[in-house]
Structure 1
Amino acid sequence: MRVSTKLPLLLITTAALALTACQSRENRRQELAYVERPVEQLYNQATSEMDKRDYDQAILLFNEVERQHPYSEWARRSMVMTAFAHYQGRRYDEAISGAQRYLALHPGGSEAEYAYYLIAASYFDQITDVGRDQATTERARDALMDVVRRFPDSQYARDASVKLDMVHDQLAGKEMTVGRWYLRNNQMLSAVNRFRTVVEKYDTTSHTPEALHRLVEAYLTLGLRDQALAVGSTLGYNYPESDWYQMSYRLLTNKGLDPEALDGETRRTLLQRIIPGGK
C-alpha cells in the first residue's frame, strides 16, 4: 500500500499501521535499532504517532526511515517531517535546524517550499511582547519575506503574507514603545527618529496615526513649526476622523497653525523634507 505524501500547510497525516499496544516505549525504541522494516510501514507508523501527538516517537520513526532507507524519497520526506514533529512539540530550534538541513541537502526538493515555511513559522511562534527584544521578530520577518519572494503563488505565501502584517505591527509597536519613552524623558530627537521609522517603514500598520501625532508633539516641543504643521496636515489628510488628528489639530491651532489651510502640494513638499517618500 502506498500512502499520500503531499504536504499541506502544516500536515495531512495518513492511515498508519499501529505498533503492538502492549509494548513499552523502551521496547519500541529498542525495536527501532534492530528490526528492518519496509519503508512504507515505518513512515505510516511515524505519521500515526504524529496523529497521537507522540512527537518523540514519531521523530524516532522518521529518523529510522532515513537510517534504513537513506536514498529513498521517503527519507527525504522524513527529514521535513522530523522538523515538523519538533515544531509541533514546540522545540523550535530543532525544527529550524531540521528544515535548514533539508534545504542544505535538497535545495530544489519538492518539500523545499514547506521547509522554508516551517522555518518562518518557527520564528513567528516565538515572537514575544513588544516590551522585550525583537530580534526573533526580525528573523520571522526575514523568513516570511523569503517565503513570499520564493513562492509567491503558493498557499504558504498567502499565509506568510498574513503573518507579515502581524510582524510589521509588532515591530512598529516596539518602535512606538521606545519612542514614547524618549518623549516622556524629553529626548525629542531620539523620539522623532523612532516615530519616523514607523511612518517610513510601517505606514500600513495601526500605529501610523499615533506616530504622526507624536511627531507633531515632538516637533512643536523642538520649535520646528513647519515640520509640525506638515505632519499634522498629513495626519488630517489620511486619518481625518481619528482621535489622534483631533489632538494634533488642537495642539497646532493653539500655536496659531492651521493644518487644514495647507494645500496638498505644499504639504507634500514640506513632508518630503522630513520623511522621504511621505505623502
Structure 2
Amino acid sequence: MRPLKVLATLVLFSLLSACSWFGGDEKVAPDVPEQELYEEALSALESDNYDLAIEKLQLLEARYPFGRYSEQAQLELIYAYFRNYEPASASAAADRFIRLHPNHDNIDYAYYLKGLTAFEQDRSFIAQYLPIDVSQRDPGAALDSFESFSTLLTRYPDSEYAPDAQKRMQFLKNRLAAYEVHVAAYYMKRQAWVAAANRGRYVVENLQETPAVPDALAIMAEAYTELGMDDLAKNSLDVLQLNFPDYKIRPFKQRSATLLQTATFGLLGGDEPAEPARPIPLADRQRADAAEAEAEEAKQEERSWFSRMTFGVFDDEDETVQKTDR
C-alpha cells in the first residue's frame, strides 16, 4: 500500500512540473496605461488594421471598464467590427452601447452604424457589379436597417447622419416594396388571390411613392376580379389609370395551358404571366451616366479638333446652320 502512495505522489509532482515545462509559468504582460492602449487602437484603425484595433479595444474595455476612454472605445469597437466585415458582432456591440448609454451624446452614431451594418450585410461583391435583382432575396437585413435608420430620424432628426440615413431609407423602401410585389406575383401564379391582394394593398398603403406601386395596383385589380369583388377591382383599376396612365396592364395569373403548349411542354403556344417591374440597380445607373458623360466629352474633343484643323473657319457657319434649323 505504501509503494502505491509513493508512486501516486511521484506522478502528481511530474504532472505539476509538466505544466511549468509547457508554459504554465508564462509571464503575464504588464498593464498598459489606458491612454496608450486607446492611442494604439486608433493607430490600428487609421492603418486599416481592424483585427489589431478590435484586440486593443477589447483589452481596453476589459482592463479599464470605467475609464475615461471606455465609452468611446465601445463606439470605436462598433466601427471596427463593421469595417472588418463582422456584421453580427457590430450589431451586438451597437445594441450593447445603446442599452448601456441611452443618453450618450453620440448615441445617434451607434444607431447609424447599426443601420449601416445591416444595409451592407447582404450586399456581396457580385451583387455590386452584376445586374442581380436583390429585391427578390430575403429582406431581413433590409428591414433591420430600415428600422435602425427610422429610429435615428425619429429621435435625432438634427443628427449629422440623418441626411444619409434618409437617402438609404428611400432605397430600402423601394427594395422592400419590390419584394412584396414579387411575392404577390408568385401568389397570383398559384391562384392565391386573397394573399396576392393583401400584399398589393400593403404596398399601396405603406410603401407609397415607390416604383412598385403600379404593379401592386394591377395585382389588386386582377386579384379582386378573380374573387368577384368588382367594386374593389374597379377602384384599384381607376387609381392605377389615373396616377399611371402610361402603365401597360398585363395579367399576372397563370393562364390555362393550350393544346400546343401542352404538346411542346410549355415552350410554345402560351404567354408567360407578367413579371414585376425590375428597378434599375445603382451600379447600372452609374455605368450609364459615366458612358453618357464619356460620349459627350469625346464629341466635344472631336469638335475642337476639327476647329483647330480648319482654323475656326467653319465654326460660324455651323452656328448659322444650327440657328436656321431651329
TM-score of the aligned structures, taking structure 1 as reference length: 0.70
* Deviations, residues 215-263 of structure 1 (Å, cap 9, x unaligned): 22223333433322221221122222x324xx37xxxxxxxxxxxxxxx
Residues 182 and 188, structure 1, Cα contact 8 Å, conserved in 2:
yes
Residues 83 and 98, structure 1, Cα contact 8 Å, conserved in 2:
yes
Q: Which has the larger radius of gyration?
A: 2
Give the CA deviation at 1:38.
Answer: 4.1
2:57 corresponds to 1:62: yes
- Which of residues 186, 194, 205 in structure 1 aligns to 2:191? 186
Residue identity opposite 1:167 in structure 2: L
Superposition RMSD on alpha carbons, in Å? Answer: 2.3
- Which of residues 108, 115, 122 in structure 1 aligns to 2:110? 115
Identity %: 28
For residues 106-185 of structure 1, the aligned pairs below 5 Å read 106-127=101-122, 129-185=134-190
Q: Which residue of 2 aligns with 1:277?
A: none
Q: Which has the larger displacement, 204-213 or 36-45?
A: 36-45
Paired residues, what number? Answer: 215
Residues 241 and 247, structure 2, Cα contact 8 Å, conserved in 1:
no
| Alpha-carbon distance in structure 2 between the residues aligned to 1:191 and 1:92 | 33
- Which of residues 214, 230, 247 in structure 2 aligns to 1:243? 247
Give the CA deviation at 1:68.
Answer: 4.2
Residues 127 and 134, structure 1, Cα contact 8 Å, conserved in 2:
no
1:219–1:41 CA distance, 2 compared to 1 (3 A): same
* Consecutive unaligned residues in structure 2, runs of 5 or more: 1-25, 124-133, 251-326
| Alpha-carbon distance in structure 1 between the residues aligned to 2:122 and 2:160 | 22
* Deviations, residues 95-129 of structure 1 (Å, cap 9, x unaligned): 11112222222221223121122122222222473
Residues 77 and 111, structure 1, Cα contact 8 Å, conserved in 2:
no
Q: Which residue of 2 aligns with 1:205?
A: 210
| Alpha-carbon distance in structure 2 between the residues aligned to 1:195 and 1:103 | 36
Residues 50 and 84, structure 2, Cα contact 8 Å, conserved in 1:
yes
Give the CA deviation at 1:87.
Answer: 0.7
2:70 corresponds to 1:72: no
| Alpha-carbon distance in structure 1 between the residues aligned to 2:122 and 2:170 | 13
| Alpha-carbon distance in structure 1 between the residues aligned to 2:211 and 2:241 | 15
Which SS does the other structure have where 1:189 is aligned? helix
1:226–1:54 CA distance, 2 compared to 1 (3 A): same
Residues 43 and 61, structure 1, Cα contact 8 Å, conserved in 2:
yes
Residue identity opposite 2:144 in structure 1: R
Q: Which residue of 2 aligns with 1:47?
A: 42
Residue identity opposite 1:43 in structure 2: Y
Give the CA deviation at 1:42.
Answer: 2.4
Residue identity opposite 1:169 in structure 2: N
Give the CA deviation at 1:164.
Answer: 1.4
Which SS does the other structure have where 1:130 is aligned? helix
* Consecutive unaligned residues in structure 1, runs of 5 or more: 1-29, 249-279
Q: Which residue of 2 aligns with 1:272?
A: none
Give the CA deviation at 1:147.
Answer: 0.9
TM-score of the aligned structures, taking structure 2 as reference length: 0.60
